[in-house]
Amino acid sequence: MKIHIKEILDKILVKYDDVVSKESYDIKNCKLIKYNIRLNDERSIKCKQSLRLIKKNEWIKGQIDKMLKNGVIESFTSLYIFNIIIVRKKDRISKECA
């Protein structure tokens, strides 16, 4: 990359530092908005939990702990229970989905 272009990009990154994520769980100013999930029904919905290897369960627990620590998610009790699905991205990094 040419030095001139790199300098321009560096200035842009510094100027907009408050909205640029630097890590996987860096959500910066997304914490400004509180999201609510409204449910249509008070009945509980539960899916049968799928069996996983202990190593996968440990990885999932670690990912959840990181998200809790970084404020991406918060602890909550609900009548709705669904399996966590792990998806391997093109760059070979696994991501969890709910």
Could you read off the pLDDT of 22-78 as tens digits, one per residue? 777 676 666 666 767 777 777 777 777 778 888 888 988 998 898 888 877 888 887
Q: How confident is the model at residue 16 (pLDDT cuts 50, 70, 90)?
A: confident
Q: What is the pLDDT of residue 53?
A: 84
Q: Which of 2, 70, 80 is nearest to 31 (CA)?
A: 70
Q: Which of 48, 50, 41, 36 is nearest to 79 (CA)?
A: 41
In the predicted structure, residue 93 carries a pLDDT above the cut 80: no
CA distance 7 to 13: 10
- Of 64 and 91, more confident: 64
